[in-house]
A and B are shown apart, each in its own frame.
Chain A
């Protein structure tokens, strides 16, 4: 069942479950942050509409800086502004920021420990028709290896809004990973969100879970559908717990270890390369503290291609059925 304490969207399993793009939540969160703190500024690399920074631009034109198609400049200008007390949010496509300007982010933001927020929109294979050049599948890996950096990959638009508000207050360098396409809204305004805190979104009605499914980003809805179907399968069903690990760094090691202790088996789910991504981060925690068999749902060392988001997610093995298959596979392994 859905975790009743978290007040998730009761319509999650309805066909008419509302769908909103995750990046839209960022746009709302940035505008709210701008209202609360006059030091919040927005910088963009000629992608105001596609990153949803336009809401902020309309309201706070004097606090918006158009940098042009120059991602290296985007983040280094922001670093300079943060040195003078600003809290800059830099928006572009994840493929170009942090994809193109990684060293600039490392040297001028992370190394200096400046509170600049890198917002990478159009992350994941779910970008769809633009094709492989525009599908950032390596950005979690790139950003989580940087000291001082907070890395957040929200599961829906509401969580993206809360993550933006939290990042504006955190005082640290941060990376916010956003997806382009419309994504079912899983959470509600009441659902709790804190940087660094994982939450259990799905749990068995009674008894212990047999598999822990750890998810980051927009695949959460598919993971919940998989968990529900697995529970209903005859004869006895498979009991799972689904964790939302939206903060990949700092990682909630205690919650991950507790889940592994209960289930003895873990499946990770992310729209990202399996190498170096969220699943790898979970494996680092478990290998050191409580090793259990793991399966990794994600992109297997390949580039993407054009297609609809649904087609691509299925083709690259990240759909609901692939998640179910991974759960069954990990159940067969000895723990």
Chain B
């Protein structure tokens, strides 16, 4: 567990802001895609790729790397943007999102971009795959060598497959599995508690024999402690419920579910970038 200094926090905040700018630029260029969830998870992605993950962007196939499975593939603009900023591929390539021939498919596809651990988009499938990875490592005696992380959304907990995975990981005591739920309270047609209530979410997951930690998904210091705690758990899979603000960083998008599956037009993109640039200068 790496020490998180104040300087590092400032650096992470700056990187997250750069990643948000790239997200706005690429989504405007693409003309379709998902904005709110991508912006909301920018801090979590930054924190993992620039502080937590054991990985090597210059050697993406490195066998000993941690695995990060993105389950809700529709927020891939934040994945692509973070990977580009981390050095997996040129920033310039972000402009090809969703265009014909691109490696940056509308939802991630391993055949086009082998750096992603799995293809995703259809919801509710990531946690099972991450559980399978964690179990394989446990069988091979590698469960202490690396962690399997899975990022998933709150909305996709409507899927039965997500809860099948919860049962399975709890049964098999997968301590090398750390899931992060993006608890942003929105899904495509409205508030999660209106579409299909999830609360009491933490209690539900605890009842499946998981270790549950709840944090502010935009506070690096708090998040660092949560991951530290997660990595020390001995006999249970761990979930970090990250409370995030959808659209974070762009005030007119924040907490508005209408930005779930919508992209900014020229004017909106300009306004969003101006606000993010103001943050950079702080």
Contact = CB atoms under 8 A, between A and B. Distances in A.
Interface of A: 41, 62-63, 65, 67-68, 70, 72-73, 76-86, 103-104, 107-108, 111-113
A25 B261 CA distance: 50
Contacts of B110: 111-113
Nearest to B117: A83
Contacts of B122: 103, 107
A84 B129 contact: no
Nearest to A72: B161
A80 B130 contact: yes
Nearest to B148: A80
Contacts of B111: 111-113
The secondary structure that dominates the A interface is helix
Interface string B113-153: 00001111110110011111111110110000000000000
B109 interface: yes
Contact of A107 (B69, B121, B135, B137): B121
B119 A111 contact: yes
A62 B132 CA distance: 15
7 tightest A-B contacts by CB? A80-B132, A76-B128, A73-B164, A84-B136, A80-B129, A77-B132, A81-B132
B161 to A, nearest CB: 4
The secondary structure that dominates the B interface is helix
A104 B124 CA distance: 9
Which among A68, A82, A108 has the greatest number of chain B C-beta atoms within 10 A?
A108
Contacts of A41: 139
Contact of A77 (B67, B135, B139): B135
B42 interface: no
B119 A104 contact: no
B164 to A, nearest CB: 4
Contacts of B128: 72-73, 76-77, 79-80, 108
A108 B125 CA distance: 8
Interface string B91-113: 00000000000000000011100
B239 interface: no
B164 A83 contact: no
Contact of A81 (B67, B69, B133, B164): B133
B164 A70 contact: yes
Which among A80, A85, A104 has the greatest number of chain B C-beta atoms within 10 A?
A80
B139 A62 contact: yes
A113 B110 CA distance: 9
Contacts of A104: 125, 161
A73 B168 contact: yes
A113 B165 CA distance: 22
B167 A77 contact: no
Interface of B: 67, 69, 109-111, 117-122, 124-125, 128-137, 139-140, 160-161, 164-165, 167-168
Nearest to A110: B119
Contact of A84 (B125, B137, B161, B168): B137
B86 to A, nearest CB: 21
Contact of B129 (A65, A70, A76): A76
B135 A108 contact: no
A76 B121 contact: no
A83 B118 contact: yes
A113 B129 CA distance: 14
A27 B166 CA distance: 29
A80 B131 CA distance: 7
Given A68-B164, A73-B165, 7 more contacts: A68-B167, A73-B164, A77-B131, A80-B69, A83-B117, A104-B125, A112-B119
Contacts of B133: 80-81, 83-84
Contacts of A77: 128-129, 131-132, 135, 165, 168
Nearest to A76: B128
Contacts of B118: 79-80, 83, 108, 112
Nearest to B73: A107
A81 B137 CA distance: 9
A52 B136 CA distance: 23
Contacts of A63: 139
Contacts of B134: 80
Nearest to A67: B168
A83 B160 contact: no
A82 B133 CA distance: 8
Contacts of B135: 65, 77, 80-81
Contacts of B139: 41, 62-63
Nearest to A63: B139
B244 to A, nearest CB: 25
B128 to A, nearest CB: 3
B121 A72 contact: no
Nearest to A148: B111
A41 B109 CA distance: 26
A79 B109 contact: no
A112 B116 CA distance: 11
15 contacts: A41-B139, A62-B139, A70-B168, A73-B168, A77-B168, A80-B118, A80-B128, A80-B129, A83-B118, A83-B129, A83-B132, A83-B136, A104-B161, A108-B129, A113-B111
A77 B122 CA distance: 15
A76 B132 contact: yes
A83 B137 CA distance: 11
A110 to B, nearest CB: 10
